[in-house]
Amino acid sequence: MVLNRTVLLRLDSQGEPVVALSYGQGVLTLPSVPLPPGTPKGTPLFTVRLVVTAGSKVSRDGLVWTNCPPDSETEFDRHKFYKKQIRATFHKDDKIDLDIFRPGPYCFYLSFRNRDGKLETTRKFYFVAPPILHVDGKLVKLDSVALQTVVSKWMGKNWDAVFERIAAKKYNMIHFTPLQRRGHSNSPYSIYDQLEFDPDHFSSTEEVKQMVHRLHTKYKALTLTDVVFNHTADNSKWLREHPESGYNAITAPHLIPAIELDGALLQFSKTMGQLGYPTDLHNSNDLDHVMEGIDVHVLQAIRLWEYYVVDVRGTLDQLQGYWNGLTTDPDLKLPLDSNSPVKEIARYVREHATVKPFGILGSRFVNKVDVIKFGSVLQKLYGKNWDRNILSKAEEILNELNLPLYKDHDNDVNEIRNQLYNRIKYSKLDPSGPRQGPINDIFPLTEPYFTRFKADDGKDYALANNGWIWASDPLIDFASGESKAYLRREVIVWGDCVKLRYGKGPEDSPYLWKRISDYVTQSALIFDGFRIDNAHSTPLHVGEYFLDLARKVNPNLYVVAELFSGSEQMDCLYVERLGLSCLIREAMQAWTESELSSLIHKNGGRPIGSYRFVPMDNFSYDRDIQLNRNYCYHDASDGSMKCVSEIMIPRILTAVPPHALLMDCTHDNETPNQKRTVEDTLPNAALVALCSSAVGSNFGCDEIFPKLLNLVTESRTYDIHDSPGIGKVKSLLNDIRKEINELSMDVEDSEAYVHHDGQYITFHRTDVKSGKGWYLIARMKFGENQGDQKLEPQTFAHTTAKPLFAYSLEKTGEAPNDPKLLKGVPTKLVKLEGFKIQFNENSKITTISLPDYFPQGSIAVFETQHLGVDQSLDHFIRSGAIQATSGLDLIALNSVLYHSDQEENDITDGSTGSYDVPNFGKLIYCGLQGWISVLRGIVFSNDLAHPLSENLREGTWALDYLVGRLDHYRHEPGVAAVQDWLRSRFDRIKQLPFYLRPSYFALTVAIIYDTCRLRAVQLMPTMIGKSTLFVQSLAMTSIQMVTRMKSTSIYPDHLVPSMAAGLPHFSTGWARCWGRDIFISLRGLLLTTGRFDIAEDHILAFAKTLKHGLIPNLLDSGKNPRYNARDAAWFFIQAVQDYIDIVPNGESILQKKVTRRFPLDDTYVPVDDPRAFQHTSTIEEIIYEIFSRHANGIKYREANAGPQLDRVMSDQGFNVEVHVDWSTGFVHGGSQFNCGTWMDKMGESERAGSYGVPGTPRDGAAVEIIGLLKSSLRFVNELSKKGLFKNIEVKRENGSQITFQEWEELVQNNFEKKFYIPEDPKDDEKYDIDSNLVNRRGIYKDLYHTGKPYEDYELRPNFTIAMTVAPELFTPELALGALNIADKVIRGPIGMKTLDPSDYNYHPYYNNGEDSDDFATSKGRNYHQGPEWVFLYGYFLRAFYSFHYKTNPACQSKKDKSPSSYLYQELSHRIDRLSKWIAESPWAGITELTNKDGEFCGDSSPTQAWSTACLLDMYHDLWVSFEQ
């Protein structure tokens, strides 16, 4: 088997990654799967395959820029980007492979040329390849990490004894707090020398390496060490040599006032007793007294405001000295005068006459005005003579300039007071604080914010100490000029650590960067992982630099971070930029059982029964895609990325929440004994241990240490001979973790259910593929005297259970106060028994009952097994679907995939309709698409609360429905195999626990749907089978619209598949087949999709019904056709022309014979009359008859005229006349009483007085009909030249003959003269124009010689039909101008406005249910007076690209004779909303129309045949012309 390590990352039309929402906020994360042994060197670890949507805006001159190295030999440099060309065409997506050779964070962005022709880039997108961990040759999955923290200074002399204790508890990673030499405070995190290990324990670096090797081989444990980037010990010798490594008055002058303030506070602390202030605070009165002293002796004494404001007196003195020498700039144009308010003058001075930067902190009076510029402003305003008035004005302006600076000062001083008050109160008075006692040199009034020393250069320095800030923005360095935290005393400071100053890069602090680089490299070479201490205060670029450096020497470095950002978004930012393996989360931060339950829920795994990802209708399928029945079978040993089905679409790169390292108790947390109770140690630890994440514990938590140990002052060592605590249970729990993670292969494999009930938290952890699980009952003890609580018996449907172990933790004594050893609180583990487990064979329900004795601080763990779930089930469901669907044809696919409620009822005689989901409603389709349209969103967001999810859990009705409805279609090709496949899978699913049913149901439906969709595109031509998701979705509507009905057909005597005009409005009976709709849709839905037989049937069926020289508007199976469409005959001929153009040997259709429904004299006879079907004609003869009857004039009254035929038609409306004006060759017809074109809405409101009054009669010569006429004439003339059309002339009304060639020339010569409205009125004389009626120029008329002359001049989109079928009628430059106007004026985002918005009759909101007094809109009379119709959009786009390509050089590729990427980009821009519409529509189609600007219209048919057909027409044009 070929190794597949590819994951897909789809990009949308804007270049943004498309990711699921089922995890919420997340980071694009590759799996942690090793390459199999023997993989050739240089093989990528993974390949991220970017899929760029065809025609998307980023594809024009598009490039992908990535920092992924091009090969395994090239070192990673996050700032070096390599380019890859995007080669997406209009028809084909492009796939750009990014090879990943080693773990770490990577990014890419796209550049492209936008619609303005300017280069544009997207934002950067990041993804992470996590490390792959091994210890002693064995894989350690990231979720199986079980970490134990140890503090080196407490390890004692025999470290191996500690390691033995840890190994016995089955931990597989040991976290060392920093092992480097410590500073004077003796805190492990106050490192004296980053490059020297603690000499008390290690004589050399080699000894550290040996220890790590021993841990790997003897104790099977990985190692992780803290790295401290942010600070160094305040007594570090190297800091005296390089004080520039810290923030001081020279490197950070903005800190000068903070340094002064801190010095004044320390001085006050030393002298406050002498000044009469209390030095031992006992109450708030003492504190208030001290604060008064701070106001007087600190804040006022240091004159803090001088660091903010301009020195008014000094500036005025300078100004006076310069005054007489000033030369006012004559070009200085002030927007002010001498009467302008001082505030405005001061604002101008601040912006234009100050020394920049202004408004900063630094030395006293650092903010200055530019005296020369200031003087020039004054002279311009008040004159050049220096006098008292000038002095007064200058002083007034400077004082005004200082006002906001004084305000800043006052705000900061108020905050300084608040911070000092609260900090002093906490440290001296609060019961929860350290209660430091009397104020002295060891415990001053306030912590020193700065470390002060004389450096080796002989100068005195004050360097900022490090600390942290509540709820700070981690992206802002709080010691930088962006923050005033040190001045405002907002930092909770660590007096033993100096904050390190990195600046923007190594050039800003070369020695520091070099030193820390050496430290990082040394650590990465020795240890398996880093814990980034104080990560939220680490500048992002610093972390990036040093972790990149570390990964150069240790590519699989495991990196965890202590990150308290308070924001999921910020967490994700750090994870994706730094490539963090996990973030530390703390169980001891939970104050209540409810909070702990939520934390376990978040980290326990996906909810049991979660939906699993499968491509649905959101993926395109290459018809030649590889298929492999076994490539969805998971085998952990082969290292491949398994596909989700037999269709070998690579796995999807998914955004997942930052991985957690969940600690039951860290070395910074208060212990359970302190925060809760001793007994709570056990249930807290058990809950954490079973989570689907890395877990950890501080050494001492398992041993029941009584309290949090002080890292600075504590000097005792671990007791390794006593204090067993809960170690035995931890070993058992870590064994379970190991087993779970050996089973788990994928992020979707681990599921969990967490429930909280008072003192109890129950936690069920399961493996999806095997069905095996572990159930934990934990009784917490967050406090004493909580009362008794009994847990109700626990029940499990279709699940068995057996006990593993149960213990309670009992306290047996008080914590010993040993002077040398760190000992735990005396406890004992009590084994619990008496659990009752009962399994009911009939109901398949297991019940677990607790014994009477199950005290607080107890746990019980059971092993469970979902019945019916084993390793074979997943593969069984994912396989076999290709074979099952291999016999389906396109009609059978319609039965399997679609059928609206009306269609299904029709076909099944009312026995079956759409599935009705309680609290949701009926599904759109009965077939698979109806379910997919709902499941798509459910799976995307893992919506287990959706009504369909609930319905599936409650019963198997949906399963039975999907199988049962196919009984009606088993006779169709391949349907029986699909039904059998579904039945066999559903039979297995019915045996599963009810809560797993939704997930497996969705998986099954999606798998069979995918293969049906693949089968569909395989049965269609290459243009579909090799195209984009949008094109394939359009093509699927061909299947959606064509099926075999019972109530109707296209033939009167037998049932054959027929095309619906739209669903559900036009799905059954007489309303299904419309002549005009059929032949507008035929090319797109039937010919481009290769359904030539269906197309031929429709042509022949309608040809049979030709009467009066017209094709019927309504077919009604040919039984009762209605002839009220003047355009259908011309669309019919156009469809025959398209058929011959596209179908191999298509011209043979001309000689196909049809029996005529009516006698040739147009006598109306019923379908069963003997005179029916007595005459035979060929299609050639049918076409000739259409021409002949039109040339000779058509006049008739509709058969069966009256209310029974059309209830709203006036009597005159049933009279139809059509004739040719032989001065132009144009076909004219209709009247003001009927509407014979597609704009056929008849007024229906008696209330409004519109009953029987057409909304758009469009009598006269309609522009689209003239275009179709010209196309038809050209067609028969070309056929004649080939000898395929016998007749060359027709007889006119006056009896004279005219040849088709002459008729074509007549139309050609007159079209623009009669239809074009010139831009310049001076040109009106060249055209047939009534200038008084012109509303808009540079367009083509909609009509010629209509009954209401002004309607000739309306801008409507119908001219685009003429442009498409007969482009030769149009002067290209004039056509392009008209199209550009239409583009701006009547093009909507989804469809074309049916009337110019500037027209008086424009009414863009269609509501057929409205019955009002409004003549224009009541009963939807404005159907075609503004609402935006989609099918015209296809014609518009075809004309748009055609004439742009012909006339605009920018639209022509310089390389070859094809459209340029610019033209494709313009088309894509106009298609984007349509693509989204079909992707989001539950009908999986495109609506008939929208209201204004694409607004949803409730009365529109939600999926319409011609809406998608006309778009397919455009793609076919481009494919045939430029791609094929």
Helix (H/G/I), strand (E/B), else coil: 1225: coil
Judge contact between 798 and 994, C-beta under 8 A.
Answer: yes
Q: Is 536 a catalytic residue?
A: yes
State the Cα–Cα distance between residues 1205 and 1113, nearest whole angstrom: 13
**CA-based end-to-end distance of the chain:** 34
Kindly report the number of other CB atoms within 10 A of residue 1134's CB atom: 23
The Cα 1296–Cα 1290 span in angstroms is 8
Helix, strand, coil shares, percent, the chain, to 5: 40, 20, 45
Cα–Cα dist 1089/209, whole Å? 68
| CA separation, residue 165 to residues 174, 466, 699, 1187, 1429 (Å) | 12, 35, 10, 100, 76
Output phi, psi for 1356, to 5 deg.
-130, 165
**If DSSP codes are grouped into helix, strand and coil, which group holds residue 329?**
coil
Cα 916 to Cα 631: distance, rounded to the nearest angstrom = 36
Query: How far is 396 from 632, CA to CA, in rounded Å?
Result: 81
Q: Give the separation between CA 649 and CA 1114, rounded to whole angstroms.
A: 44
**What tokens appear for 889 in the block?**
């044809």
Tokens of 1065: 């409005």
With CA atoms as reference, report the closest residue to 556 among 535, 532, 581.
Answer: 581
Per the DSSP assignment, residues forming a β-bridge with 794 are 848
Q: Are 859 and 778 in contact (CB under 8 A)?
A: yes
Look at residues 96, 40, 50, 48 and name the one whose alpha carbon lies nearest to residue 72. 40
DSSP states of 847-879: EEE--S---TTEEEEEEEEETT--HHHHHHHHS
Residue 670 CB coordination number (10 Å): 12
Alpha helices in 487-537 (DSSP H): 510-526
Q: What angle in degrees, to the nearest 10, is found between the helix axes of 928-941 and 890-897?
A: 60
Q: Which of 93, 262, 412, 533 is catalytic?
A: 533
Helix axes 1505-1518, 1431-1447, angle to 10 degrees: 20
Q: Which of 91, 231, 297, 536 is catalytic?
A: 536
Q: 1112, 1075 in Cβ contact below 8 A?
A: yes
Nearest to residue 1298, comparing CAs of 1290, 1306, 1286? 1290
Q: Cα–chain-centroid distance for residue 837?
A: 46
Find the largest Cα–Cα distance for the chain: 130
Nearest to 101 by CA among 132, 135, 63, 65: 132
Residue 1479 CA to residue 1458 CA, distance in Å, equals 29
Q: Decide if 533 is catalytic.
A: yes
3-state secondary structure 948-972: HHHHHHHCCHHHHHHHHHHHHHCCC
Burial 1160-1170 (b: 16+ CB within 10 A, else e): eebeeeebeee
> Do residues 1153 and 1181 lie in contact, with contact meaning Cβ atoms separated by under 8 Å?
no
What is d(CA 625, CA 648) in angstroms, rounded to the nearest whole number? Answer: 7
> Helix, strand or coil for residue 346?
helix
Of 12, 370, 408, 668, the catalytic one is: 668
Q: Catalytic amino acids? A: 533, 536, 668
